[in-house]
């Protein structure tokens, strides 16, 4: 299908770019603009993937040609719901695809959750990844003990990043303020806890294995917490992962304790432990986490009444995310997603990725819903498209309001400056404030303008 018309994709993370790629494949004649509220593209890859997982971040290489060779435009530094309304985008474009992810944290729902020293993973991960939304954060990590609540890969990421040595940090793009704060914190113990058991944990084997490969950390697992085998009635695909995970956990359980005098951060895997209260006060912050031992039977978690207190100064919750829609979008409160029916918010307005179905899977797991949204947008254009003006009209509207949009070429200048500023061995030194990113672009614009002015003056000068 050739097709014409215009589509606006809100959100430049992997889901949005998978959708853009699919639209280009299905309908090469359709104009595709990707709008993002930050001056930087790639969403979760830049702001969510762990800074020591540079191989995972390399997925951006497959997206770059969209902007450099295939005609998709990046329009950054545009906040939908503030700089421009969703209703205005719908008037300017024939179809709109929402791919904004899920940036809000689910709550534990226990007393003390609002104490200083308690952080959701969205903010904590954003802080150590240098996301501008969290540039102001100064997390309270007094040490020597931290609790990380959750039994998924995000919880593993948080625990691992806190356990990195300065030498390990040197090869990452960990934000400098976070690297300095973590290096200065004298941690001895990290408690990684979940209310279910190891068979219910959502760790991938590769991430779990990394916990035993850290330079100065020692994973601690109680053998009695591990089942003898994976039950036969588990789905074969899950069973393979769980068997590998049990092997890794048994290896951790068999590790001898570190030699006396060797400083290692102990990472305690506390399965079947549910948070019941966070203790402390507004002045001193968190002082302890009260946890209750649980039982899991028939998929149901049951309380045992046996509680213990972990003396920690920081609690990071990694128990899932919720969509935080901008003005004009309906929210399904129960599921924590943008209200939709199989990706359709209403005709001409579609949603994909975490904002559609909640957080799950690795980056590529969002490709299916992105393709669904792209196909529905193209079908809508074929039946109802009016060849609306799209990007040029949007940029004119924003310019009339005094907003400075950021093109992909502008992002490339930011990218170049970050790489140039990095110490040897580091992939980049991230700018963590939007103002600093825009300053790079403005400086480059000024240099280009001066160079052009000098060339014009030389061309007009009379011969000697």
pLDDT tens digits, 201-216: 999 999 999 999 999 9
For range 371-376, the mean pLDDT: 97
Average pLDDT, the chain: 93
Residue 375 pLDDT greater than 80, yes or no? yes
Confidence band, pLDDT 50/70/90 cuts, at residue 463: low
Structural domain spans, the chain: 6-103+323-406, 105-316
pTM of structure: 0.92
Tell me whether residue 53 is one of the annotated catalytic residues: yes
Q: Is 207 annotated as a binding residue?
A: yes
What's the CA dihedral at 155, 159, 162, 168 to 10 degrees?
A: -110
The annotation status of 80 as a binding-site residue, yes or no, is: yes
Residue 375 parent element (H or E): helix 367-384
Q: What is the mean pLDDT of residues 159-186?
A: 96
291 annotated ligand binder: no
Catalytic residue among 53, 133, 165, 332, which? 53
Given a cut of 70, is residue 93 above it in pLDDT? yes
Query: Any binding-site annotation on 388?
Result: no
Alpha helices in 176-227 (DSSP H): 176-183, 205-210
* Residue 416: band (very low, low, confident or very high) from pLDDT cuts 50, 70, 90: very high
Q: Which fold has domain 105-316?
A: FAD/NAD(P)-binding domain (3.50.50)
Q: What's the pLDDT band for 452 if we cut at 50, 70, 90? A: low
The pLDDT value given to residue 425: 92
Active-site position among 33, 36, 157, 372? 157
Quick check: 220 and 266 in contact, CB under 8 A? yes
pLDDT exceeds 90 at position 102: no
The pLDDT of residue 138: 95
pLDDT digits (tens, 9 = 90+) for 270-313: 999 999 999 999 999 999 999 999 999 888 999 999 999 999 99
* pLDDT, mean of residues 128-140: 96
pLDDT for the residue numbered 258: 87
Q: State the DSSP string of 133-166.
A: GGTT-------SEEEEE-SSHHHHHHHHHHH--H
pLDDT in tens, 105-122: 999 999 999 999 999 999
Instruction: Name the CATH superfamily for 6-103+323-406.
Output: NAD(P)-binding Rossmann-like Domain (3.40.50.720)
Q: Which of 56, 304, 364, 447 is catalytic?
A: 364
88 is in an annotated binding site: no
Give per-residue pLDDT as tens, 57-71: 999 999 999 999 899
Which residue among 10, 190, 363, 432 is the active-site one? 363
Give exposure, 389-425, as e/b (b: 16+ Cβ within 10 Å). Answer: bbbeebbebbeeeeeebbbbebbebbbebbeeeeeee
pLDDT at 218 over 70: yes
Q: Is 34 annotated as a binding residue?
A: no
């Amino acid at each position: 299908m050739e097709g014409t018309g215009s589509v606006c994709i809100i959100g430049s993370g992997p889901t949005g770019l998978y959708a853009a790629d699919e639209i280009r494949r299905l309908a090469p004649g359709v104009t595709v603009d990707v709008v993002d509220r930050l001056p930087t593209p790639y969403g979760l890859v830049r702001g969510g993937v762990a800074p020591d997982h540079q191989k995972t971040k390399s997925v951006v290489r497959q997206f770059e040609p969209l902007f450099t060779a295939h005609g998709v435009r990046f329009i950054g530094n545009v906040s939908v719901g503030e700089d421009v309304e969703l209703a205005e985008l719908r008037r300017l474009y024939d179809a709109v695809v929402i791919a904004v992810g899920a940036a809000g944290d689910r709550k534990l729902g226990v007393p003390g959750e609002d104490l200083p020293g308690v952080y959701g993973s969205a903010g904590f991960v954003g802080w150590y990844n240098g996301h501008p939304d969290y540039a102001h954060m100064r997390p309270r990590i007094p040490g020597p003990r931290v609790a990380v609540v959750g039994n998924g890969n995000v919880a593993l990421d948080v625990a691992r990043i806190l356990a990195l040595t300065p030498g390990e940090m040197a090869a990452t793009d960990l934000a400098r303020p976070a690297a300095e704060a973590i290096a200065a914190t004298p941690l001895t113990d990290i408690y990684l806890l979940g209310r279910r058991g190891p068979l219910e944990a959502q760790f991938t084997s590769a991430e779990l294995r990394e916990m035993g490969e850290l330079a100065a950390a020692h994973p601690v697992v109680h053998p009695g917490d591990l089942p003898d085998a994976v039950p036969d009635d588990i789905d074969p695909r899950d069973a393979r992962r769980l068997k590998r995970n049990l092997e890794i956990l048994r290896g951790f359980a068999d590790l001898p304790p570190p030699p006396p005098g060797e400083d290692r951060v102990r990472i305690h895997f506390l399965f079947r432990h549910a948070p019941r209260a966070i203790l402390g006060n507004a002045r001193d912050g968190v002082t302890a986490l009260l946890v209750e031992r649980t039982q899991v039977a028939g998929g149901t978690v049951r309380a045992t009444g046996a509680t213990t207190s972990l003396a920690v100064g920081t609690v990071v919750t990694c128990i899932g995310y919720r969509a935080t829609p901008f003005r004009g979008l309906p929210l399904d409160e129960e599921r924590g997603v943008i209200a939709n029916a199989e990706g359709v918010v209403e005709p001409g307005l579609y949603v994909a990725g975490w904002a559609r179905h909640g957080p799950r899977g690795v980056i590529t797991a969002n490709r299916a819903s992105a393709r669904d949204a792209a196909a529905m947008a193209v079908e809508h254009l074929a039946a109802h498209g009016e060849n609306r003006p799209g990007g040029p009209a949007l940029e004119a509207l924003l310019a009339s309001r005094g907003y400075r949009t950021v093109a992909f070429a502008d992002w490339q200048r930011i990218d170049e400056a970050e790489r140039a500023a990095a110490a040897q061995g580091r992939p980049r030194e991230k700018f963590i404030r939007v103002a600093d990113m825009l300053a790079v672009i403005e400086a480059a614009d000024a240099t280009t303008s001066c160079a052009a002015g000098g060339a014009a003056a030389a061309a007009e000068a009379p011969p000697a």
